[in-house]
Amino acid sequence: MTAGFTPPPYPYDRLDAFKSIASAHEGGMVDLSIGDPFDPPPAVVIEALASSASERSYPASIGFPAYREAAMGWMERELGVSVGAKEIAACIGTKEFVAGLPHWLRLRTPDRDTVLYPAISYPSYAMGAELAGARAVPVPVTADGRSDLDAIDPADAARALCLWVNSPGNPTGHLDDLEAAANWGRAHNVPVISDECYVEFTWDGPGRTILEHGLDGVLAVHSLSKRSNLAGVRAGFYAGDGDLVHYLSELRKHAGFMVPGPVQAAAVAAWNDQAHVDVQRRVYLERLELFRTVLAGIGVDAPMPGGAFYLWAAAPDGDSWALVERLAAEGGALVSAGEFYGPEGSDFIRVAVVQSVERLGLVGRRLGVL
């Protein structure tokens, strides 16, 4: 009998052994391993979630008109791009979309079987390929974190279902060249999917979207999980190429992918409120600077990222797991090993500065650097 698919261990489960070490400290573990928001969502969102009166009926899979209009308005105000109502659709957060997209694209183009994604990146891009029975082919990244599109093998390009880009990037915080990615995709007839969930936490210049360079052959994917501290409600959208949006939204309607009605109401309130994001930007900048100081105190250089709320730091001796253990044992902090994001990240750690300044400072005091 041919063996079937066996899911690999979930990367972050490999940190379980370090949780007990970090938790032994008085005051407990400071969890900096995943980008799980610590701060509360805005009150207007919680009020909308509780009072929508939309629980009874099935919600629109594509997103209620108000949901899409709020997202469209946000894109025009904050990113300077306009999309039509037929060029945007809802998704349940964005992780399910990332993991499911290769399968849906393979149904559409069964002669293609390859997903291209940044060599150092969020692990769900590669896992989506595996779940679709497709090839996951990493695209090398340059020293400044951009996708090295010239390094893509023409044979892989000819088989590609899509090219993923992520800017600002998780885990590195680097900013990619979205115009170059869009042009490459059009030249090779490959859809380019731009994961932009950290766009409002861009530190080097204004936030950018791939849609600035036209909608043809591209999608931008956005989420409320990071910008509005709403990872628990699962609300996002994808926008861009009208034909691709139509195909995906029809397929997803058949499969029953629906953002719950109360969540859609909460999302409208979130997309329409920018003040809470401005506050969150200042909070993350303060935390990034503080923890850079903490790491510098133990001899670890963590450059300021171009965007997002992660520090991507090389282990001084190249042993990232030893640094993970040291931070757990001496600082009571749980951080991620860089190999979770691809073999090229194996010498690094990723620190998500999602805890309060007080908790980050506690790690520094335990390490004797604050």
Domain CATH code at residue 189: 3.40.640.10
In 3D space, the residue among 191, 124, 122 whose CA is nearest the CA of residue 163 turns out to be 191
- Return the pLDDT at 113: 98
Alpha-carbon Rg for the chain in angstroms: 21
Same domain, 158 and 130: yes
pLDDT category at 296 given cuts 50, 70, 90 is very high
Residue 265 lies in a domain: yes
Helix, strand, coil share of the chain (percent; to 5): 45, 15, 40
The pTM of this model reads 0.96
For residue 6, is it within any domain?
no
Residue 55: is its pLDDT beyond 80?
Answer: no
239 and 90 fall within a common domain? yes
CA distance 10 to 316: 27
**Over residues 116-130, mean pLDDT:** 97
Please tell me the predicted confidence (pLDDT) of residue 56: 78
Do 246 and 323 belong together in one domain?
no
At residue 143, the pLDDT reads 87
Residue finishing a domain among 246, 271, 296? 271
Structural domains counted in the chain: 2
Chosen domain end from 255, 271, 287:
271
The pLDDT > 70 percentage for the chain reads 100
Please report whether residue 5 resides in a domain: no
Mean pLDDT across the chain: 96
Q: What's the whole-number mean pLDDT along residues 27-42? A: 95
pLDDT average, residue stretch 97-102 = 98
DSSP 147: B
Q: Are 72 and 205 contained in the same domain?
A: yes
